[in-house]
Every structure is written in structure tokens, then in C-alpha cells.
Amino acid sequence: MATMPDDFKDKTVLITGAGSGIGAATARLMAARGAAVVATDVDIAAVETVVADCADGLALRCDVTDEAQVEAAVAAAVDRFGKLDVAVANAGIQRHNTDIDLYALELAEFERTQDVNLRGVVRTAKHALAHMMARGGGGALVLVSSITGLGGRTPNVSYMTAKSALLGLNRHIAVHYGPHGIRCNAVCPGALEQTPNWDEHPDPDGRRDGFTATVPLRRLGRPEDIAGAIAFLASDEAGYASGAHFTIDGGLTAI
């Protein structure tokens, strides 16, 4: 059996939205590769379960719509582990029923998604960067965007505009913080077996069947499919990668 590399040994990684899906899979993978993992989420019980699987970890309640909580999470990570090397801005929501049809969209719904999916990432990046700059530079950020941010197909206009904006933010951070040895990259996952706010999806069976028939690899993605790409972009192996986005979608956007 192949052994797991320990390339995150001596690194502290903070992940938002780590209680479920991609964030939980990333926390478990990076912990298995030696990281001290600070797993944060609005759902504290969920991150406590994830951290129970990590050799070295800290579970924190952190709502990314509240800047004070994000700042406190970074401070708690530094307090516990001495430094922060990697931040994975992953927390996201998808309002399947209400984020539709721009001409009829409730702007409060637009704002609700933007507050988590865009401004939540801005808050996370801001406070991770503040620590990395204060300690003299160095570090890596990974932003979790989506293939939804690469095109205009989805009717979920707030979701897609937030995910597109993350790709601009990714370039901004790469350009302005690269001289300080800080890298930033994004991942664009395709359609996974479960979306955020899956319980609100109006037609889960139709979605699954449609994607399974269309995606060149003929299956939907799983959180573990994305975690490996996030870990790679955060790792020293990707030390010359910055400002890039990596698509993991079973070939869907290649069509």
C-alpha cells in the first residue's frame, strides 16, 4: 500500500467550510500529510467530527460573513500553532430555489450568496494575508471557485458572479503578494454528487442523470477528487504556481 507523503509536516492550514464536502475532505487529506489543521465552519459539531480524524487539529466555529469571527479564527490558529502557512477559502452556499432569473431576483438573495461566496473569501484572504505579511511573507492561499464561474450557463446568477469574481481576486492576490513570497491559486470544481445546500435542490435526480450522461468521465465528482488538487496547489511542489486556476470537472468544460 502506498504511504502518504508528509509534505505538510510543520505547516498550519486553515480551512473555511471544513465541516462538510470539499473542505472536510481537504482537512482530512492535509492532516494525513502532516498538517496541523484548523478546521472552521458555522457548524461546530461538524468540524469537531472532522478534527477527531486529524492527528493535529483545532475545530473552530467561524461564520465567514462575520469579519470579527474570521479575524479571531486566524488569531486562534496562530495562537495554537505559532503561524499560519496555508488558507483554503472554501466556504460556500448555493441558493438553488431563490438565486434564479435576474429579472425577478430578490436582491437580498443576491446579497446573501455574495456575502458568503465572495465577501467571505475576501475576509478570509484579508486576515490570512495580514498574518503572512506581518510575519515577513511566505504562504499559500487556495480559493474554491467553480466551473460555474467560467461560463454563463447557470441560472444561479449570484453564485456564478461570486465564483467569477474569485478568479479576479485570485489574480489580484497573486500579483500584489507574489513579491512577498505568497502564492494564490484557485480550483474550479465541476458538478459533484452533492452541491452546497443540496437539500434545497429542486431536481436532484434530473441533475445527476443529466451530468452523468454529459460529463466525459460519465460520473459526478466527489469531494476527494477536489481535495487532492487543493493540497497540490497549497504544497511546495506547486511553488512556482500562482494566479492560476485549475479545473477538476471530469472533462465537462472541455466539451
Ligand X SMILES: NC(=O)c1ccc[n+]([C@@H]2O[C@H](COP(=O)([O-])OP(=O)(O)OC[C@H]3O[C@@H](n4cnc5c(N)ncnc54)[C@H](O)[C@@H]3O)[C@@H](O)[C@H]2O)c1
CA-to-CA separations, 63 to 34, 51, 54, 156, 251, in angstroms, rounded: 26, 18, 22, 22, 33
> In terms of Cα–Cα distance, which of 243, 234, 123, 239 is closest to 177?
243
Cell of 199: 437539500
- DSSP category for residue 219: S
113 is a contact residue toward ligand X (CB under 6 A):
no
- DSSP category for residue 23: H
Scanning 12-20, 71-79, 208-216, 240-248 for contacts with ligand X by CB under 6 A, the matching segment is: 12-20
90 is a contact residue toward ligand X (CB under 6 A):
yes
Smallest gap from Cβ 185 to ligand X, in A, equals: 15
The CA distance from 145 to 233, in Å, is 14
Q: Which is nearer to ligand X, 16 or 170 (CB)?
A: 16
164 phi/psi in degrees, rounded to 5: -65, -45
- DSSP category for residue 13: E
| Residue 15, helix vs strand vs coil | strand
Cell of 90: 472554501
For the segment 230-249, give every residue that binds ligand X (CB under 6 A). Answer: none
Q: Which is nearer to ligand X, 133 or 157 (CB)?
A: 157
The answer to whether 159 is a known catalytic residue is yes
Mask of contacts with ligand X, 49-88, x by CB under 6 A? -------------xxxx-----------------------
For the segment 211-230, give every residue that binds ligand X (CB under 6 A). Answer: 223
From the list 12, 124, 195, 235, which residue makes contact with ligand X (rule: CB under 6 A)?
Answer: 195
Q: Which is nearer to ligand X, 7 or 53 (CB)?
A: 53
Q: Which is nearer to ligand X, 7 or 65 (CB)?
A: 65
> In terms of Cα–Cα distance, which of 23, 185, 180 is closest to 116?
23
Residues designated as active site: 159
Task: Catalog residues that contact ligand X under the rule CB under 6 A.
Answer: 16-17, 19-23, 41-43, 46, 62-65, 90-94, 116, 120, 144, 146, 189, 191-192, 194-196, 223
